Chains A and B, each alone.
Chain A
C-alpha cells in the first residue's frame, strides 16, 4: 500500500511552513524570477502534491484509460494535471470531460471568451490560480480582449453584473433569490437572457466545484515551459504549490487532539466497516421519531460549524487573483449559524435535480442537462466495491453520507435520510477535510488530506474528492435553478 508517509513529509513541511507562507504572500509583488528561486520545489513530482506520482499512474483498466487520455490529448492538445489525477477513475473522467468540453467549447448561448472569463471569475473566488492561469490562456486564445485581464474594472458591465451571483454561489448559495435573477435579466441593455444566464451559472458552479477538487487533491501547477515566459499574468509556478504543499499553520484543536496515531488505523477501518454493515442491515431496529430525525439534521448542521473556527482573518489574497473578485472578504458562513434571519431549510424533495433542475437547465441550455445528469449519476453510483484492503464492500451508505453531508452544510435536507448516519460514518478529521474542501478549499492542507482515512488508498481519496465536488456543484445549481424557476413563475 502506497500511502504517503505522514511522518517525515508532514514534519518537514510543518517546519518550513510559516516562513514559506509569508514569503509566498509577499512575493506576489516581487518579480517572478526571484520568487522562483525562493520557493522550494513541490513535495512530489507529478500532477498532485498530495499523491505520489506512481500512484496516479497506476490504476486499473489501463487500456481504457490510455485510450481516454490519448483522446483527450488529441482534442485539447494537452493533458492537464486535473485530468491525470481524475483518470484514476476513468469512467468518471469521461463524463467529466464531456460535460466540460460541452460547456466550454460547443454550441452554447455564450461567446467563447466569455465562458473562459466566467471560469476565471469563478476560480478567483477561491483564489485558485491554477484554474485562473489555465483559463487566462484559453481566454486569450479564443480571442478575448486582453484588457479584461487587468481586472473587473475593465470588463463590460454585463459581465460585471455577474459578480454578485458568483459571490453568493461560491460561498452562500442559499442567499440567492429570484430578485438576484431579476436584477440580471431585466436591466435594459446589459441584461442577460435566460439561456445565457443558465450557461453562466453552470460554468460558475462547475468551476467553484472544480476549485474544490484542485485544492482538495493538491493539484500541482502545470509544468509548461512554453507558457511561463511572461505571457502569463500570474505567477504560475508557485502560488498553488506553497499554498497546498505547506501546512497552513492552522491547526484545529480538534484535529490535533483527535486520535492521531492512538488508535490503530486498521482497527479504525474495521470499525467503520462494522458500522456500515450495521446501518445497512438493521434499519428498523432503532426507529427514530420524526423529531429525532429533524434534530439530527440540525445537530449535524450545527456541528459542521464547530469543525472549523473562523481563524482566517489574516487571509492574504494576492493581487493577481483579487483583481477578478469583488468583496474578497465574503466567504462561507455557516448555514446553521444564522439564527437571526432563520432561512428555511431547502427540502431536497421539493426541488430535485432529477425532476426540476434537469428540466429547467436542459430547456434553457440544451443537452447540458443530459451531460450533467450523467455525471451526477456516475459519481453517485461509482464504486469498486472495495474499501482500503477489503473487497466486496457495499459502500453505498458511505457515499451517500458524503454526498448528503455536503448538501447538509449548504442547508439541503433529505427527508428520507437519517443524519445520524453521517455521525457514525464520517470521523471528525474527515469532516474537517470535507468542510474545508467544500467551503474553504483554498485552506486545504496536506495535513488535512493525510489525517483522515489513513489506511485508504489515494484513489479512494480522489473518489471522495469527486463526490464532494459534484455534491457541491449540484447544491449550487439547485439553489440557482430554484431561484430561476421562481423568477419564471
Chain B
C-alpha cells in the first residue's frame, strides 16, 4: 500500500519522492512557505516559527527561529514567505505591524535581519519579488502597501489603497512592475511599482473581503481571487476590463488560493472557517472538487505546492498544530462518490436521462441529436484532449426519450389552469364550474369528481331543526328521489360505493376505488337512461330556510376560518364566503334536470322558493341522519391521493383549495405542501404566473403562503438617467425627475405601471400594450427592442402626488417570477424598495 502511495517525479534531474505524512507542531500555524529547492518548509504562527526539512518519510525540525526567553511580538507571525531566489532569505509579517526579514546565513542563533516598523496595524501579507532579490512588498490592515528595498533601512515607496485594509499582495509573474492587492471591501487593485501615487486599475471582485489572490504561473493574465463570500473567481486581466472567466462556489469563506503547477485549470483552496479540508478544483468544473484532502482537524491556514513544477505534492499547515504533506494519489476524489446519473422530465413528457457513457454504450439504437422531437436523441460530451488527468470518468451520455405528440400535449393542463375557478363563489358553483371545464376538455373523470364533490359537500351539513321537523312527516316520498339521483349521478366506482354506504348506513366496504376508466365508460352509458323517472316538478327551486342557513353559517364560522390565514387577503375574497352548506338543493335540481337539459348545463340555479318545500327538507334530513359530511372525507382524501399519484397534481390541488378546511385536516401538511410546490412549479414552467400566484395566495400551507413574502423587493432604474433609484419613491435623486412617466402619453402613471427591464422605460399598461401591437421598439425612442424583453407588469404607486399612496405587500407579491430572476442579477447595486412586512 505504501509503495503505491509513494510517488516519484522527474523534474529535470531533480526527483521528488515522498508520501502522505505529517508532523506535530507545538502551536497552531498561520502560514507556511517552501524553499526553492522543495526540501525545506518554514512554518510560522503566533507561537511558532520553525524550519522543517522534508525527508522521505518524515519532517525533521531543522531550525527554531523563535529564540529568546520572552519572544517579542515580532515573532508573532501572520504571514511568512521564503525567497524564491535566495534560499537564505525569509520575510515575516508580524501581527503588531512589523515586517521582519531573516537571514539564515547569519552565524548567530538569532537570524533576525531587518526590522521595518512602518505599518501602523497588523501586516497581513508579505511578498518577495519573483525575480528581484531585494524587493519586498507588504500589505497591512492600515490600508497601505509598502515596498522595501532590503538594502535600505526604510521603505522605498508607499501605496495607499484609499480603501480599507489590505488582505493580500502578489507580484505579477508576467509583468516585472505589476502587483495585485486585494482589500477588505471587496476590491482588487493593480499597481505599477514605479507609480505609488495611483493604482493602475481597480475592480470589485467580491462581496465582502477578498482574502487572497494568486497569479497564474503560466497563463499570465489570469488572477485567481478568493473571498469571504465563499467564491473563488478567476479573472482575465489581459483585456482592458478585468473579466471574470471562471467562478467556483465553495462551502466556506476562502482563505487561500494556489494554482496547481503544470495544470492550467487546477487550483487549490482552503477555507477560513468551519471547513477543514483542502480542495483542488478544476475551474472549468466548478461544482465538484476534483480532489480533496481531509487530513486536518482544524482550519487549514496555509497551503503551498512543494515544488514550482510538481503538481503532486502539496504542503499544508493548520490550526490543529500539524504540518502535512499531501500526495495527490492519496487524495479523495469526491467525483467517485457522486451520483453520475441524472433524470428529468420535460414539460411535455419527454424524459432525459444522463449517465456515464460506459453504462449506456450497449444501447444500440442511438441517434445523434437533430432537434427532431420524435426520436430518442443522444449526444456526448467531448473530451478535452489536453487534459489527461481526471476526465476519464467524466464523460457522460445524455439520452432523451420523447413521448408522442398527442399524449405529450399539455394543452389540457394550461386550459384547465386558466379556466378553473378556485375561490370567490359558493362551493357548489365552483364545483359546477370546474366540472364543466373538465368536461369541456374531455376529462370526464375529473368532471365527475367535481360533481361528486359538490354533492358530498354542498348537500350535506347542518340543517336547521325546523327543516328536520318538516321532514319527518313525508318520509316516504324521498326514496325514489334518492334512487334516481344515485343512479345517474354517481356512476364512478367511488360514487357507487358511497351509494352503497348510504343504503347500508355506516357499513363501508373495502374496495373504495374501482378502476376509473371503466367507470368512465359506465358513466357515458348511463347518461341517457338514468334518472328519467324523476318528475321534474319535484326538483325546482330552493328554500328560504336554506338561505337562512347560509347566512347563519357565515356568521358562526368566520373565526375558525380566519385564524388559519397568516396573511390578509387583499386581491381575492376571503374563503369563508364559500358557504359550507349553500342551498342544499341546487345540485339536486340540476342533476335531476339533466335528463332534459344534459348534465352540466343545468347550472342555472334558481334560489326562489317553490312549492316542494317539504320534500326537499326531507332529503336533507336523511343525509343528516345517516351521513355526516366528515363521513366522506376519507374517500375524498383517497381520491386526491389517487390523482396526485397519477400525476394530475392539478386536480388534487384545485380540489384542496376549493374544499379548503373541509378536507385539509385529512391530509398531512407535508403532502399538501408537496402538491402545492409541484403544481406551482408546473404552472411557472408554463409561464402561468398569475395563476401560480393565485394558488400561492389561496393555499393554506404556511410554507407556500410565505412564498409571496419572499423577495418582495423591486430594483428599479430611473428611466431618465438609467441609474439605480436610490430614493424611495418615484423621484430620481440624480435628475430630479419623476421616473414613472408614461413613455407614450408623457403623463405620470398612477396605478399599474409597466416597464421594460432592458431600457427602464414604461408607462400605462394600456398604452404600452397598444404601442407594442404595432411596434417592437421602445416608445420612448431609445431604440431598445422592448418587444423582446418581456414587458413586466407590476402595480406600482407613484409617489409623486401630494398624498403618496404607499405600496402594499400585496402589490408586490403580485409581481411575477420573471422579475424576480432578473432582479437577482445585481441585488446589491440597484435600488431596493424595501417593504418591511406588516
The judgment on whether A and B are partners is yes
Residues of B contacting A350 with CB < 8 Å?
A: 46
DSSP class of B's interface residues: helix, strand, loop or mixed?
A: loop
CB–CB A415/B122 < 8 A: yes
Centre residue among A67, A290, A485 by max chain B CB count within 10 A: A290
For the complex, what is the distance from the CA of A347 to the CA of B72, rounded to whole Å?
14
Q: State which of B121, B209, B273 has its C-beta within 8 Å of the C-beta of A363.
A: B273
B725 contacts A by Cβ under 8 Å = no
CB-CB under 8 A for A359 and B274, given A290-B96, A293-B73: yes
The distance in angstroms between the C-alpha atoms of A485 and B274, with both chains bound, is: 7
| Residue ID in chain B nearest A359 by CB atoms | B273
With an 8 A cutoff between CB atoms, is B837 at the interface? yes
Tell me whether A358 is interfacial, beta carbon within 8 Å. yes
In the docked arrangement, what's the CA distance between A105 and B838, Å? 10
Question: Is A416 interfacial (CB 8 A cutoff)?
Answer: yes
**When A360-B273, A485-B273 are in contact, do A354 and B209 touch as well, CB less than 8 Å?**
yes
Q: Of the candidates A71, A101, A105, A416, which one forms a contact with B96 in the assembled complex, judged by CB atoms under 8 Å apart?
A: A416
The CA of A81 and the CA of B775, in the complex, are separated in Å by 56
Residue of B nearest to A77 (CB): B838
Q: State which of A239-247, A281-289, A317-325, A333-341 sits at the interface with chain B.
A: A281-289
Please indicate the chain A residues that have their CB under 8 angstroms from the CB of B78 in the complex.
349
Our count of residue pairs bridging A and B at CB distance below 8 angstroms stands at 82
Residues of B within 8 A of A373 (CB): 208
Is there an interface contact between A416 and B117, defined as CB atoms closer than 8 Å?
no
Query: In the complex the two chains form, what is the Cα distance from A488 to B273 in whole Å?
Result: 10
Which of A101, A106, A283, A489 has the largest number of chain B CB atoms within 10 A? A489
Give min CB distance, B91 to chain A, whole Å: 17
Asked whether B70 lies within 8 Å of A291 as measured between CB atoms, the reply is: yes
B184 to chain A: closest CB distance in Å? 6
Within 8 A of B (CB), among A109-150: none
Report B57-108 residues with CB < 8 Å from chain A CB: 70, 72-74, 76, 78, 94-97
A54 CB-CB contact with B under 8 Å: no
Q: Contact at A415–B73, with CB atoms within 8 Å?
A: yes
- Identify whether the interface residues of A are mostly helix, strand, loop, or mixed: helix
Please determine whether A363 and B252 come into contact, CB atoms closer than 8 angstroms: yes
| Selected contact of B117 from candidates A101, A105, A284, A489, CB within 8 Å | A284
Chain B min CB distance to A404 (Å) = 12
Known: A74-B806, A359-B274. A349 touches B95 (CB 8 A): yes
Q: Assign chain A's interface to a size class.
A: 20 to 34
Rounded to whole angstroms, the CA-CA distance of A414 and B95 in the bound complex is 8
Question: Taking CB as reference atom, which chain B residue is nearest A350?
Answer: B46
A373 to B74, CA, bound (A): 29
Is B306 in contact with chain A by the CB < 8 A criterion?
Answer: no
A interface footprint on B111-143 (CB within 8 Å = 1, 0 otherwise):
000000111111000000000000000000100
Interface bits A412-449 vs B (CB < 8 Å: 1, else 0): 00111000000000000000000000000000000000
Chain B's nearest CB lies how many Å from the CB of A234?
Answer: 27
Is the Cβ of B72 less than 8 Å from the Cβ of A291? yes
A355 touches B837 (CB 8 A): no
Q: Is B272 an interface residue (CB 8 A)?
A: yes
B276 contacts partner chain A, Cβ-Cβ < 8 Å: yes
B274 touches A416 (CB 8 A): no
A416 & B120 in contact (Cβ 8 Å cutoff): yes
Q: Residue B555 at the A interface, CB < 8 A?
A: no
> What residues of A have a CB within 8 angstroms of the CB of B209 in the complex?
354-355
A53 to chain B, nearest CB (A): 28
**In the docked arrangement, what's the CA distance between A287 and B97, Å?**
13
Contact B72 A289 (CB under 8 A): yes
A477 to chain B, nearest CB (A): 14
Q: A75-B837, A355-B273, A416-B121 are in contact. Are A489 and B46 (CB under 8 A)?
A: no
Task: Using CB atoms, name the residue of chain B closest to A351.
Answer: B273
Chain A residues near B299 (CB-CB < 8 A): 489
The verdict on B673 contacting chain A, using a C-beta distance below 8 Å, is: no
Query: Chain B residues near A75 (CB, 8 Å)?
Result: 836-837
Min CB distance B725 to A, Å, is 14
Bound-state Cα–Cα, A315 to B493, Å: 80
B residues in contact with A106, CB < 8 Å: 837
- Complex contact B728–A290 (CB within 8 A): no
Q: Cβ of B728 and Cβ of A358 under 8 Å apart?
A: no
B297 at the interface (CB under 8 A from A): yes
Determine the chain B residues whose CB is within 8 A of the CB of A289 once the complex forms: 72
Question: In the complex, what residues of A have CB within 8 A of residue B120's CB?
Answer: 283, 416
Q: Are A416 and B95 closer than 8 Å at their CB atoms?
A: yes
Contact A101 B297 (CB under 8 A): no
Query: What residues on B are CB-neighbors of A488 within 8 Å?
Result: 274
B231 to chain A, nearest CB (A): 13
Q: How far is the CB of B130 from chain A (nearest CB, A)?
A: 27
Q: Which of B97, B273, B320 contacts A356 (CB 8 A)?
A: B273
Report the minimum CB–CB distance from B116 to chain A (whole Å): 11
Q: How far is the CA of A123 from the CA of B591 in the complex (A)?
A: 68
How far does the alpha carbon of A259 sit from the alpha carbon of B390 in the complex, in Å? 76
Which residues from chain A contact B228 at a C-beta distance below 8 Å? 354-355, 358-359
| Chain A contacts for B118, CB-based, 8 A | 284
**Smallest CB–CB gap between A489 and chain B, Å?**
5
Instruction: Say whether B297 contacts A290, CB under 8 Å.
Output: no
Find out whether the CB atom of B184 lies under 8 angstroms from the CB atom of A290: no
B298 located at the interface, meaning its Cβ lies under 8 Å from any Cβ of chain A in the complex: yes
Q: Taking CB as reference atom, which chain B residue is nearest A284?
A: B117
A482 to B299, CA, bound (A): 13
B253 proximal to A (CB < 8 A):
yes
B806 engages A293 (CB within 8 Å): no
CA of A293 to CA of B72 in the docked complex: distance in angstroms? 10
B184 proximity list for chain A (CB < 8 A):
354
Write the nearest CB–CB distance from A61 to chain B, whole angstroms: 14
Report chain B residues within 8 Å CB of A489. 276, 297-299, 320
Taking A101-B836, A284-B117, A489-B297 as contacts, is the C-beta distance between A290 and B73 under 8 angstroms?
yes
List the B residue with the shortest CB-CB distance to A355: B272
A359 & B272 in contact (Cβ 8 Å cutoff): yes
Nearest B residue (CB) for A381 = B164
Residues of A within 8 A of B72 (CB): 289-291
A349-B78, A359-B274 given; A293·B96 CB < 8 A: yes
Which of A106, A290, A416, A488 has the most chain B CB within a 10 Å cutoff? A416
Instruction: Bits for B801-838, please: 1 = Cβ < 8 Å to A, else 0.
Output: 00000100000000000000000000000000000110
Asked whether, in the complex, the Cβ of A415 is within 8 Å of the Cβ of B95, the reply is yes
Contacts of A349 in B (CB 8 A): 46, 76, 78, 95, 122
CA distance A101 to B836 in the complex (A): 9
**B728–A67 touching, CB < 8 Å:** yes
B608 to chain A, nearest CB (A): 47
Cα distance, A360 to B253, chains bound together (Å): 10
From B296, which residue of chain A is reached at the shortest CB distance? Answer: A489
Provide the A169-200 mask, 1 if CB < 8 A to any CB of B, else 0: 00000000000000000000000000000000
Chain A residue nearest to B96 in the complex (CB): A415
B141 touches A416 (CB 8 A): yes
- Compute how far the CA of A296 lies from the CA of B740 in the bound complex, rounded to whole angstroms: 61
**Residue on A with the closest CB to B184?**
A354
CA distance A22 to B119 in the complex (A): 54
Closest to A370 in B: B208
A415 CB to closest chain B CB (Å) equals 4
> Do B97 and A416 touch across chains, with their CB atoms under 8 A apart?
yes
Which A residue's beta carbon lies closest to that of B119?
A: A416
* A414 and B78 alpha carbons, distance in the complex (Å): 13
Specify which chain A residues have a CB less than 8 angstroms from the CB of B272 in the assembled complex.
355-356, 359
Query: Could you tell me which A residues sit within 8 Å of B by CB distance?
Result: 67, 71, 74-75, 101, 105-106, 283-284, 287, 289-291, 293-294, 347, 349-350, 354-356, 358-360, 363, 370, 373, 414-416, 485, 488-489
* Interchain residue pairs with CB less than 8 A apart (8): A71-B728, A75-B837, A289-B72, A349-B122, A354-B209, A359-B274, A415-B94, A416-B122
List 6 tightest A-B contacts by C-beta distance, closest first. Answer: A290-B72, A415-B95, A359-B273, A415-B96, A416-B97, A75-B836
List 17 other contacts, CB 8 Å, given A290-B96, A347-B95, A415-B76.
A74-B806, A106-B837, A283-B120, A287-B117, A290-B73, A291-B70, A293-B96, A349-B76, A354-B184, A355-B253, A359-B253, A363-B274, A415-B96, A416-B95, A416-B97, A489-B299, A489-B320
